[in-house]
Structure 1
Amino acid sequence: MSSFDHSTLIKQINENLGPLRKAQPEAMQGFGLLAKASMAEGALSAKHKELMALAIGITQHCSGCIGFHVKALHKLGCTRAELDEMLAVCVYMGGGPALMYAAEATAAWDAMAPQTA
């Protein structure tokens, strides 16, 4: 499990992808269009799709995915209870390694939670 700041990780990933966006604009635009179309509201809500994406990120051990999808879930109004239920499924399907990344996801969730006064 990592102990880094997911908000900083997201920023670094976006900065590091800058040269690839310039070198391969069509491919990167294609990926962006695929993401937008895949995550759009439909028979499944955008929130449910983000929960699925986070689950895949956890079971594939992708810290960047955790950061991006936790951030999106906060914006979509996901609750901690919804997150926790999804994490239980990740652990069921992914075992011990998924449990380690579930812990990372909960740390990211807490760190990235909107601040309330």
Structure 2
Amino acid sequence: MSTEWGNRLSSLIKSVGNLSKTNKPVAKAFHGLEVATREDSVLNDKTHELIAIAVAVTTRCDGCISAHVSAAKKAGATKEEIGAAVGTAIALNAGAAFVYSSHVMDAYDQL
């Protein structure tokens, strides 16, 4: 594990552990949500993690990136598969910006 991202993941685990101790109901609920996404899932672990990586990119969550890249590698995801998932995230962000930009034109017309 590389130093920078390995340190981020270790720090994340420690910080989340501290948060979990101070707010057990929220931590339990969040953990339950994660468990629910895998329970009786038609997605295998690798596919689940590839989707999580793409979402992590679109939400700009470094903690999510460190956790889900690590999990994806453990689930057997290749660098190329992760690259493809990230490519989809990039395309979606560009598409979302393009579509949302129509609001600017609407605002201009209405103002």
Q: Give the structure-2-normalised TM-score.
A: 0.73
Structure 1 distance, partners of 2:15, 2:30, is 16
Structure 1 vs Structure 2 CA RMSD: 1.7
Query: For residues 40 and 81 of structure 1, do their structure 2 counterparts lie closer, same or farther at Cα, with a shift above 3 Å needed?
Result: farther
In structure 2, stretches of 5+ residues that fail to align are 95-111
- Which residue of structure 1 aligns with residue 22 of structure 2? 23
SS of equivalent to 2:53: helix
Other-structure match for 2:43? 44
Shift of 1:70: 0.2
Mapped contact 1:40–1:46 kept (Cα < 8 A):
no
In 2, the alpha carbon distance for the partners of 1:41 and 1:67 equals 25
Q: What letter corresponds to residue 8 of structure 1 in structure 2?
A: N
| Counterpart residue identity of residue 54, structure 2 | A
- Where does 1:68-87 land on structure 2 (aligned, <5 Å)? 68-87=67-86
**Is the radius of gyration larger for structure 1 or structure 2?**
2
Q: Deviations over 1:20-72 (max 9, x none)?
A: 21221122012112112213462122211111111010011111111000000
Q: Find the aligned partners of 1:29 and 1:67 in 2 and give their Cα distance.
A: 21
Contact 1:39–1:50 (Cα < 8 Å) also in 2: no
- Indicate conservation of the 8 Å contact 2:53/2:86, yes or no: no
Structure 1 segments unaligned to the other structure (5+ residues): 96-117
3-state SS in 2 of match to 1:82: helix
* TM-score, length basis structure 1: 0.69
